[in-house]
Each structure stands twice: as C-alpha cells, then as structure tokens.
Structure 1
Amino acid sequence: MRIAVCDDDRQEQEKFIEALHEWDPTRSPECFSDGDSLLKAARESPPFSIAFLDIYMPKENGVDIAVELRKISPETGIVFVTTSEEYAVDAFALNALHYLVKPVTANGIRDAFARLTKQQGRDRPTILITVKRGSRSIYLEEILSLQSADHRTEISLSDGELLSVWMPLGELEQQLDDRFLKIQRGMIVNMAYIDRMEPDGCTLRNGIHVLFSRKGRAAIRSAYDDYAFAHLSRRHSLRGGKR
C-alpha cells in the first residue's frame, strides 16, 4: 500500500508520520512538499492507495492538486488536511474520504483508513484484522481458510502466506460472506479453493486435506453443491452474454 503526504511544512510532515506510527508503526508514507512532485510520483505503479493533502500551502491549493490527482489515479482515496474548515465544501465535492483539521491525530488517521477500507469493500469485500499494534485489510477472495489455534486464528492466504492473529474465529466469521463454509469446529474454508470433494472431507488447492464434522457432512456437501451450481450457472450466463 502506497501512502502519500503532501505538505510544504517539514515539521507538519514529521507530526503526521508520528501520528501514523502511533496508530500503525509498520506503515511508511511518501512525503512531498509540493503538488508537482506528488503528481509525478502518482504516475508510477502501483498507484497511491490514499493521499493526505494539505489544502492551504503558500503557492498551491490542495483542492487543485486533488483534481489533477483524480485524473491520474481515480482510485486513490483523498483526505484533506488543514488548519481551517474553509474548504470543506470543495473537499467533499470531490468525494474526499475524509477532512482532518490539524493537529492530525492517530484516531483521525485510523478513521481515514477505515473509510478507505469501506470504500474499497464496495467492489471487493475485505476483512479487517488486527496485526501487532495496527490493522490490515485483506480481500476475501485471497483467503483460503481460517482456523482456530489456541486464542488465535490462523489465516491461510492463496499466495501461501500464513497470518496468525489474536482475534477469535467467531469475530472474523462475522466479516465473511457466503463463499465461506464452516466444515468442522474451528475451521472455515473458502469454497472457491476446494480442489476436490470426498465423502468425509475435502482437499484444498494448497494440498491440505480436511475432514468434515461427522454430524454435519450432509449439510456441508449440500452447501457446497449449491455454491458450485450457482457459480457454474453464473459462468454459463456470462459466456452467453459475450456472444
């Protein structure tokens, strides 16, 4: 995730970084003192996920910078930062994520990232997990399985990464959608990653074989059949629409 901060005052940049690290010390922003350097960096790949723009700078207006940034990277979430609420109407006319009044706080930054997660989730649903002293958003489509482990939950991702978070499985389950299926106590899998179904269990794409809960086998297989049929029908529908 690329984070941009544009403020002509170096001390203000440092205060922002301090507040950001108070919320999540793992995040490192790219700081710019003028709009031109920010826009130049915005043309690089990947695009900025979020940009914090000082609205009033001696030679520039953050709203004008935001207009140009929108043209380069419409997916970038914009947060305006200022000492005054004078430009609030202009800011939200650009569909800004948030409007922060200095001094920026860790809570304000946390709120901005929460709004970013909500905005992104409209197209690609995400799950928000707690890592160390901060948080991280993961696309549901990237999760292969979730499993309870003592007081933690281990999350296996499709790229092979394994995350161990201090969050109960039940809390995470509330953020999942209908592509996820509980196949035994303390174990939830993403049905999109089931490679092979068997009478007493299934094999995931990472090669792991998981047994079903004995009492729930019939219900589990029925839920998977419904899921598979729905997605097969959807694929046929999409193919038909392309003819």
Structure 2
Amino acid sequence: MRLALCEDEEVFQDVILDYLNPYILEDRNISIDVFSSGVGLLDRYTRGERYDIVFLDVEMPGILGVDVAKRIRDIDPSAILIFMTAYTQYVKDTFCINAFQCLLKPIKRDVFNEEFERAVNCSNKMKCKYSITNKDKRTIFEIKDIVCIEIYHRHLRLSTVDSSYEYTGSLGNEEKKLSNYGFVRCHQRYLVNMRYIFQVGSDSFVLSTQKRIPISRRLKNDALSKCHRFLMGYCL
C-alpha cells in the first residue's frame, strides 16, 4: 500500500510519521512518500505515480491542498484523500471533492488510528476483484476501476474510465453484489460508483468522466441520502 503525506510544516510531518510508524513496521507492504508542497506531489502524479491514501494539509504555500486534491481527482478518482487542517471553515470545502475525512489539528493518535484503519479497510475493499463473462470470455476488474454499470440494449454495459464492456446479466443482481462497495442505484437503468461523482444535481449526477447520469424520481431520496453519507465519509 502506497501512502503520500503532503504537509509543509516539519513538526506536523513528524507527528503523522510517528503515528504511521507502527503500521509500517508491522506491514512491510506499506510505504510512504513525504512532500512539503502540493507541487511536488502533483509532479509525481503527472509522472505516473499513484497512491492509495493521500494525507493533505489544507493550507500550504503555492497551492492549497483543496486545489491539489481536485487535480488528483482528475487523474485518479479512486484515491483516498484525508485532509488535515487547523481551521474548521475549510472542512466543508474538503467534502465537496469527496474527501474520505478531514482531521482537525492537533490530531490525537487515537483519532488518527481510527480513521487510518478505516481508510485502509476501504482501500482494500476497492482492490477486490470483480468479474464479468461475455460469450465465455471472462474479464476481471478491480472494483475501484468500475465507474458505472447500465442497462444497454437488453444487456449490461460496465464502464471504466477509458473502456466499456457489454455482458448479459441483471442490474438488480449487480446492485446486490456491489452495495457494500460504495455503489448507488439512482435510476432503473444505472448503478454508479460514488467515488466518481463530481457534481450532484437535483435530477442527475455528473461523473468525473463528464458522463451525466439521470436520477429517477422514485429512487431520488434514497440515492441522494446515500450519496450525502458517502461524501461525508460514513459510507464504509
């Protein structure tokens, strides 16, 4: 598991590294890269680096953490973003870009541990495999890569960021299998991975892929409620 810590103040870097050290010692598969500015972190992303969990300070010189997060979302919508700030007025802004959590400084160890373990659990669930079969051809995905599944010409169409795959099945059955992985049924024809929701409207979701998904009147209240809970970090 790859972690990134983006914090401009060394004293807070040291605190978070101290909190993470027991986890890193226990699991050698956990690694962490530390950045003192958002510019350095974004440079890694543009060079193809990816992180499972990103800790972001909100207020940093050069580029704010929220703006860094927006660019990360454009590149990797599945990254788990945990903000850190001493200013409560920034909390609402962080959840508008689907933050996993926003921790208020000074961060207590027990609070950090609880949220980090929850984030690890979420990341591991998103790495679970999901398979579909079409004409005896089996295709396997990581759940985090599935953007949405829709009914299309009496078949199902599964979409990732850059491809789509048609297969035979029931959207109701797919909903049952994915209900615990951050997916929401917002329309009779659509099942959406909430990690890719970029904008919530009164009658549609706009995804980070620019695809617009309608919200039916029958499912509207339930879909918006689930989306709200997810965006506030209580989904998993």
Q: State TM-score, norm by structure 1.
A: 0.48
Identify which of structures 1 and 2 has the higher relative contact order when contacts are C-alpha pairs closer than 8 Å and 6+ apart: 2
TM-score (norm: length of structure 2): 0.49
Question: Of the two, which has the highest radius of gyration?
Answer: 1
